[in-house]
Structure 1
Amino acid sequence: MKYFVYILYSENYKKTYVGFTNNLERRLKEHNAGRSKYTKRYSPWRLVYSEEFQNEIEARLKEKYFKSAAGRRKIKKLLLNICPGSSAG
């Protein structure tokens, strides 16, 4: 089974969210439908990054990296390229 690590961005609130799933399309719909406690406050969400992995362990490790200080810095750089003028936090 394939897994995906993804980064969502809320234009309205300048927020990011990092997660992992085995069904990226379904998960994005869930976030935008308000089925996630944190993300429902900041919708709508836009998918700005995803990466595919062959197993859950690799996906969880990458998710953990993106939630670290170094990973957050990388996300900021990524967002500056994708959404100029963003100050995501």
Structure 2
Amino acid sequence: MDSFFIYIIQSQPTGRFYIGQTNNVYQRVVRHNQGGCTATRKQATWILCAVRAFNSRAEAMAEERALKAKKSSHFLRWYIQQFPPPASLFP
């Protein structure tokens, strides 16, 4: 069974957060930084702030929707403290 992840990245130039879900966090962050995502293309460089694993894509998508619905940078900062990215994530 594959794992799916919620991730939060932050734009270095603007401080803006982006929330997404994927089954490969490393490749997804690289893609964001290479301009491969329309929503984040204009604000690279992105750094990974948080990662949380889920057993299914449905669970990850539900969490992604819940996080986006909060629209609170205060809550996102708390979430980032709870789920920091593991150092082993990047080669």
Smaller-chain TM-score range?
0.7 to 0.9
Summarize deviations over 1:6-34 as a string: whole Å, max 9, x none: 00001211111000000110000000000
Spell out the pairing of 1:1-89 with structure 2 (5 A cutoff): 1-69=2-70, 72-78=73-79
Structure 1 unmatched runs, 5+: 83-89
- TM-score when normalising by structure 2: 0.79
Partner of 2:89: none
Cα deviation, 1:11-61, whole Å, max 9, x if unaligned, reads 211111000000110000000000001101010000000100010111001
Task: Give secondary structure in 1 for the equivalent of 2:76.
Answer: helix
| Conserved? CA contact 2:5–2:60, under 8 Å | yes
CA distance in 2, matches of 1:44, 1:30: 11
Give the CA RMSD over aligned residues: 2.1
Runs of 4+ in 1 over 6 A off after TM superposition: none
Count of aligned residue pairs for this structure pair: 81
Where in structure 2 are there 5+ consecutive unaligned residues?
85-91
Is contact 1:65–1:71 with CA below 8 Å preserved after alignment?
no
TM-score (norm 1): 0.80
